[in-house]
C-alpha cells in the first residue's frame, strides 16, 4: 500500500497476554484481528521482524500470505523465539507451511493456487475442531501443500481428496491450510474460539481500554502541534473529532457547508457538536458550490466540480496545517488497496489521498486513529465516549450531498423541494419506528414535469422519488417493504406541504442493477 500510513495500533502501549497476529501479507490478516476481538480478546498485528517486540503474548497466530515458503527470500519467523513464549500457536495457510518447515517437515510448492471452498474432514478427536460439523465448508487460498511431516506432527484434518489440511504439533501448536477468518469458512469462528480456548490468560478486548490507548497515542503523536480535522456530521469524522477533543490536543475542526446538505443540516451539525462540547468552524460555501454547478447536467462532471471545490474550500480554511487528522476506517484502507468498487470508499479514499494530504503524509503529519477499526467498532467507541445514539446511527450521506439525488442541473428551487420532501419522509420513518430498520433512506427529485391538479388549478410540477434500502456494505441493496399506510402518510404530506411537486413515487429497484443514489 504505497504512501499509506495504516495505523494498526502497533505502537500503542503493549499490554500482556494479547493475541499477537504475525502478518505475512494475506488480504485477510486484519480480519483475523477483527475475529479475535469479536470473540472478546485483544489482538494486534506485528510484522515477522517485530516478533522481538512482543512481550508475554497470550497466543500467537501466523497469518496467510501471497508468497511461497520455497522462495529464497520468503518471509520467515524466528522459531526459537516463537516457541520460547510457551503459548498456543496457530499457523494459517502460509503460517502452517512455515511451521511445518520449521519443525522439520517439507512443503511442495505449486504454480497453481487452490482457491475456493473445500470440505473439512477432521481425522480424530481434536480440540481445534470440537463442535464443528462433519464436512464443514472451509475457504482455501494457497499454493504450497504439505509434503513430508516431521516426527511428532500429526494430521488432524484432510479435505475430501485426502490431502492434509490441518496439522498439530504437541499440545497446542496447530496449522490450518484454510482461512477461518472469512465468512466462507462456515464454522471458522468456532475453530478460532477453540484455538483461543487453549490459551488460559488472554487479555480481554475492552473498547474503553482501547479508547484510552488511542488517546495516549494521539497525544504522543500530536504533541504540542495543532491538528486540523474536517468534520461532516457523519459517524466517522464525529467520533474522530470527539476523540481528539477528549485527548485534549490543540485541534481545529472545520465543517464545510456546500449548500447540498439536508434541511437544517448545517445547523444540526453545529448543535450536535455543541451538545458534545466541541467547537467547530463552519465555512459557508453554499453560493460558491451552486455557482460552480450552474448549467452542469453530466453526473460525473457534477461530482468532479463538487469534489475539487471541496478540496479548495477546505484547504483555504486550513491554511498551513501542522498536522491533519482523518477519519479513515479499515474498510477504506483495504478497499482502496484492493481497488474494490464501492463508490463511497473510492471517493472517500480519493478525498483522503489528495496531493496535499500525501505530502503531509510523507512528512509523518497525518494521523488516522480509526484506520484499525470497522464501522461497528467506531460506533462502539463513539458510544463509550457518550456520543448520542441518533448521531452514531445516522444513515450514510454521500459527500456530494443532494446533488446526486437531483438528476440534471442543480438549482436552489430543486434542492428546496428535495429538502422539504426528505424531512417529511425521514421524520415519518422515525415516527413509525422504521428509521433504524432502514440502512439508508431519502427523498430525491425526478426532473420531469407532469400535469396534476392542485386546488382548482392545473399544476405542472416535478415528481418526488422516495428510496429506502437495506444493505450490509452498500455493494448490494434491496428496497424496503415499507407499510402502505406509512407511504400514504408521507405522500399525503409531501403533496400537501411541499411546493413544486405534484407526484410521489417509491423506488422499488434493487442494487444491482440500480445504484442506491440516482447519480
Ligand atoms: P451507490 O449510489 O453507488 O451508493 O449505490 C453506495 C453508497 O455510497 C454512498 N455514496 C457516496 N458516499 N461520497 C460518499 O461519501 C460519494 O461520492 C458517494 N456516492 C455515493 C451512497 O449514499 C450509498 O450509501
Cβ of 395 closer than 6 Å to ligand 1, yes or no, is: no
In the set 17, 93, 217, 461, the catalytic residue is 93
Is the pLDDT assigned to residue 204 strictly greater than 60? yes
* Whether 362 contacts 406, CB under 8 Å: no
pLDDT in tens, 365-380: 999 999 878 888 899 9
In the residue annotation, 17 being an active-site residue is answered as no
In the residue annotation, 198 being an active-site residue is answered as no
CA 405 from centre of chain: 24
* Whether 170 contacts 154, CB under 8 Å: no
- Choose one of 343, 400, 467, 514 to mutate for the ligand 1 pocket test, by most ligand atoms within 8 angstroms of C-beta: 343
- Specify the pairing of strand 457-470 against strand 501-506: parallel
pTM: 0.79
Among 229-243, 289-303, 364-378, 410-424, the minimum mean pLDDT is found in: 364-378
Ligand 1 centroid from CA 467, angstroms: 14
Q: What is the pLDDT of residue 382?
A: 97
**What is the DSSP annotation of 410-446?**
--HHHHHHHHHHHHHHHHHHHHTT-TTT-SEEEEEEE
In the residue annotation, 93 being an active-site residue is answered as yes
Cβ of 231 closer than 6 Å to ligand 1, yes or no, is: no
| pLDDT confidence bin for 341, thresholds 50/70/90 | very low
- Specify the pairing of strand 226-231 against strand 323-325: parallel
Cβ of 396 closer than 6 Å to ligand 1, yes or no, is: yes
| pLDDT confidence bin for 11, thresholds 50/70/90 | very low
* Whether 318 contacts 309, CB under 8 Å: no
Q: What are φ and ψ of residue 110, in 5° steps? A: -140, 150
Cβ of 344 closer than 6 Å to ligand 1, yes or no, is: yes
| pLDDT confidence bin for 343, thresholds 50/70/90 | low
Is the pLDDT assigned to residue 272 strictly greater than 70? yes
Is the pLDDT assigned to residue 351 strictly greater than 80? no
- Specify the pairing of strand 226-231 against strand 19-22: unpaired
- Common-topology check for domains 19-196 and 411-506: no
* Whether 405 contacts 518, CB under 8 Å: yes
Cβ of 515 closer than 6 Å to ligand 1, yes or no, is: yes
Q: Please give the grid coordinates belonging to residue 293.
A: 454547478
Q: What is the pLDDT of residue 472?
A: 80
pLDDT in tens, 305-336: 999 999 999 999 999 889 999 998 876 765 55
Cβ of 474 closer than 6 Å to ligand 1, yes or no, is: yes
Calpha distance 61→42 (Å, rounded) = 13
Average pLDDT over residues 45-51: 92
Which range in 133-137, 182-186, 291-295 is most confidently predicted, on average pLDDT? 291-295
Calpha distance 458→263 (Å, rounded) = 28
CA 455 from centre of chain: 50
Is the pLDDT assigned to residue 387 strictly greater than 80? yes
Ligand 1 centroid from CA 74, angstroms: 40
Q: What is the pLDDT of residue 350?
A: 56
Residue 396 Cα: closest atom of ligand 1: 24
Average pLDDT over residues 69-82: 94
pLDDT in tens, 415-433: 999 999 999 999 999 999 9
49 vs 210 pLDDT, higher one: 49
CATH number of 19-196: 3.40.50.880
pLDDT in tens, 100-138: 999 999 998 876 777 899 999 998 789 999 999 989 999
Ligand 1 centroid from CA 232, angstroms: 14
Cβ of 517 closer than 6 Å to ligand 1, yes or no, is: yes
In the set 17, 142, 153, 179, the catalytic residue is 179
Average pLDDT over residues 394-422: 97
Calpha distance 180→139 (Å, rounded) = 7
Cβ of 343 closer than 6 Å to ligand 1, yes or no, is: yes
Ligand 1 centroid from CA 368, angstroms: 21
Name the E strands within 315-395. Answer: 323-325, 366-367
pLDDT in tens, 445-495: 999 999 999 888 999 999 999 999 999 878 889 999 999 999 999 999 999
Average pLDDT over residues 70-76: 92
Ligand 1 centroid from CA 462, angstroms: 24
pLDDT above 70 as % of the chain: 93
Q: What are φ and ψ of residue 225, in 5° steps? A: -80, 165
Peptide bond into 512 cis (omega under 30): yes
* Whether 381 contacts 241, CB under 8 Å: no
Ligand 1 centroid from CA 306, angstroms: 14
List C-alpha distances in Å: 317 to 132, 233, 237, 252, 377: 57, 18, 17, 10, 31
List C-alpha distances in Å: 16 to 170, 469, 490, 503: 24, 44, 56, 63
What class, spelled out in words, does domain 411-506 have in CATH?
A: alpha beta
Calpha distance 374→42 (Å, rounded) = 15
- Choose one of 303, 341, 398 to mutate for the ligand 1 pocket test, by most ligand atoms within 8 angstroms of C-beta: 398
Specify which residues 442 forms β-bridges with.
467
Q: For domain 207-391, which architecture applies?
A: 3-Layer(aba) Sandwich (3.40)
**Contacts of residue 355, Cβ cutoff 8 Å, sequence gap at least 6:** none
Cβ of 327 closer than 6 Å to ligand 1, yes or no, is: no
Calpha distance 104→100 (Å, rounded) = 6
Cβ of 440 closer than 6 Å to ligand 1, yes or no, is: yes
Q: Whose CA is nearest to atom 14 of ligand 1?
A: 398
Q: Whose CA is nearest to atom 21 of ligand 1?
A: 398
Cβ of 299 closer than 6 Å to ligand 1, yes or no, is: no
Among 28-32, 266-270, 379-383, 390-394, the minimum mean pLDDT is found in: 28-32
What residues does each domain of the chain span? 19-196, 207-391, 411-506
In the set 17, 181, 217, 245, the catalytic residue is 181
Average pLDDT over residues 489-511: 97
Average pLDDT over residues 231-256: 97
Ligand 1 centroid from CA 274, angstroms: 27
Ligand 1 centroid from CA 401, angstroms: 9
Which range in 3-12, 255-264, 352-361 is most confidently predicted, on average pLDDT? 255-264
Q: What is the pLDDT of residue 352?
A: 59
Closest CA to 373 of 32, 44, 102, 34: 34
| pLDDT confidence bin for 201, thresholds 50/70/90 | confident
Cβ of 511 closer than 6 Å to ligand 1, yes or no, is: yes
Report DSSP state, residue 511: B
Q: Whose CA is nearest to atom 8 of ligand 1?
A: 344
Identify the helix (H) or strand (E) that includes residue 351.
Answer: helix 343-352
Amino acid at each position: 500500500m504505497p504512501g499509506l500510513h495504516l495505523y494498526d495500533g502497533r505502537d500503542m502501549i503493549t499490554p500482556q497476554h494479547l493475541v499477537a497476529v504475525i502478518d505475512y501479507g494475506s488480504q485477510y490478516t486484519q480480519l483475523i484481528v477483527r475475529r479475535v476481538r469479536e470473540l472478546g480478546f485483544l489482538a494486534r498485528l506485528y510484522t515477522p521482524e517485530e516478533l522481538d517486540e512482543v512481550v508475554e503474548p497470550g497466543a500467537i497466530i501466523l497469518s496467510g500470505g501471497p508468497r511461497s515458503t520455497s522462495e529464497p527470500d520468503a518471509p520467515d519467523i524466528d522459531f526459537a523465539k516463537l516457541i520460547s513464549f510457551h503459548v498456543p500457536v496457530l499457523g494459517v495457510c502460509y503460517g502452517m507451511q512455515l511451521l511445518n518447515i520449521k519443525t522439520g517437515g517439507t512443503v511442495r510448492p505449486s504454480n497453481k493456487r487452490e482457491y475456493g471452498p473445500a470440505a473439512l474432514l477432521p481425522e480424530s478427536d481434536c480440540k481445534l475442531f470440537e463442535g464443528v460439523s462433519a464436512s464443514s465448508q472451509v475457504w482455501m487460498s494457497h499454493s504450497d501443500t504439505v509434503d513430508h511431516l516431521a516426527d511428532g506432527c500429526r494430521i488432524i484434518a484432510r479435505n475430501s481428496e485426502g490431502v492434509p489440511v490441518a496439522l498439530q504439533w504437541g499440545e497446542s501448536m496447530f496449522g490450518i491450510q484454510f482461512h477461518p477468518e472469512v465468512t466462507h469458512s462456515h464454522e471458522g469462528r468456532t475453530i478460532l474460539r477453540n484455538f483461543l480456548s487453549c490459551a488460559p490468560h488472554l487479555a480481554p478486548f475492552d473498547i474503553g481500554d482501547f479508547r484510552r490507548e488511542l488517546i495516549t497515542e494521539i497525544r504522543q503523536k500530536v504533541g504540542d502541534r495543532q491538528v486540523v480535522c474536517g468534520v461532516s456530521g457523519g459517524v466517522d469524522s464525529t467520533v474522530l473529532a470527539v476523540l481528539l477533543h477528549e485527548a485534549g490536543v490543540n485541534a481545529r475542526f472545520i465543517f464545510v457547508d456546500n449548500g447540498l446538505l439536508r434541511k437544517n443540516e448545517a445547523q444540526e451539525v453545529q448543535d450536535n457538536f455543541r451538545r458534545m462540547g466541541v467547537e467547530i468552524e463552519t465555512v459557508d460555501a453554499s453560493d460558491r458550490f451552486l455557482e460552480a454547478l450552474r448549467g452542469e447536467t453530466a453526473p460525473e462532471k457534477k461530482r468532479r466540480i463538487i469534489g475539487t471545490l471541496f478540496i479548495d474550500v477546505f484547504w483555504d480554511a486550513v491554511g498551513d496545517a501542522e498536522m491533519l487528522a482523518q477519519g479513515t476506517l479499515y474498510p477504506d484502507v483495504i478497499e482502496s488497496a484492493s481497488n474494490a468498487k464501492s463508490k463511497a470508499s473510492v471517493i472517500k479514499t480519493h478525498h483522503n489521498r489528495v496531493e496535499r494530504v500525501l505530502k503531509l503524509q510523507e512528512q509523518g503529519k497525518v494521523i488516522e486513529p480509526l484506520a484499525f477499526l470497522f464501522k461497528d467498532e467506531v460506533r462502539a467507541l463513539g458510544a463509550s465516549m457518550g456520543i448520542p445514539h441518533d448521531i452514531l446511527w445516522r444513515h450514510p450521506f454521500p459527500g456530494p450531498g443532494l446533488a446526486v439525488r437531483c438528476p440534471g442541473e442543480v438549482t436552489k428551487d430543486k434542492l428546496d423541494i428535495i429538502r422539504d420532501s426528505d424531512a417529511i419522509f425521514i421524520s415519518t420513518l422515525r415516527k413509525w419506528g422504521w428509521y433504524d430498520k432502514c440502512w439508508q433512506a431519502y427523498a430525491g427529485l425526478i426532473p420531469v414535469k407532469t400535469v396534476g391538479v392542485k386546488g382548482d388549478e392545473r399544476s405542472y410540477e416535478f415528481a418526488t422519488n422516495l428510496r429506502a434500502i437495506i444493505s450490509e456494505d452498500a455493494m448490494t441493496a434491496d428496497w424496503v417493504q415499507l407499510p402502505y399506510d406509512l407511504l400514504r402518510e408521507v405522500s399525503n404530506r409531501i403533496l400537501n406541504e411541499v411546493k413544486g411537486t405534484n407526484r410521489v413515487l417509491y423506488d422499488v429497484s434493487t442494487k444491482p442493477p440500480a445504484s442506491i443514489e440516482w447519480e
